[in-house]
Amino acid sequence: MERFPRVQQIVDQLGQLTVSEQEQLYRELRPWVSGIKVQVEQQMGLQEIRDARFSQGLHCVRCGSLAIKRNGRFQDEQGHLKQRYLCKTCGRTFNDLTGTPLAYSKKQWM
């Protein structure tokens, strides 16, 4: 991973902080860190999320059934083409992101 000198400088100084200073730093950083986490997840890409979720085979995210069929594609708000699936057991449809944290982080997607 690329190391940025300015970041490295800050990291070097972290070791010199007192416990109280570390606590303040943590409070200051917390809102930033949660934003960064979303960006990193976004960079991981949908394919990796899809692979991770369905590595055990395609299954229904609602009832766990393996009786799934592809049910067409659709465009999300960002214009990305996504696969939609239909569960033959419970009849619900879902997509690659249904039930993952990314499905609820639309506001922070640019």
Q: Which residues bind Zn ion (CB under 5 A)?
A: 60, 62-63, 65, 87, 89-90
Question: Closest CB to Zn ion among 46 and 61?
Answer: 61
Question: What is the distance between the alpha carbons of residues 52 and 48, in angstroms, rounded to a whole number?
Answer: 6
Nearest to 79 by CA among 43, 109, 49, 44: 109
Tell me how far, at minimum, the Cβ of 56 lies from Zn ion, in Å: 15
Pair 109, 78: CB distance under 8 Å = yes
Q: Return the number of the residue (36 or 66) whose C-beta is nearest Zn ion.
A: 66
End-to-end C-alpha distance for the chain, whole angstroms: 24
Shortest CB 103 distance to Zn ion, Å? 17
Least Å distance, CB 36 to Zn ion, is 34
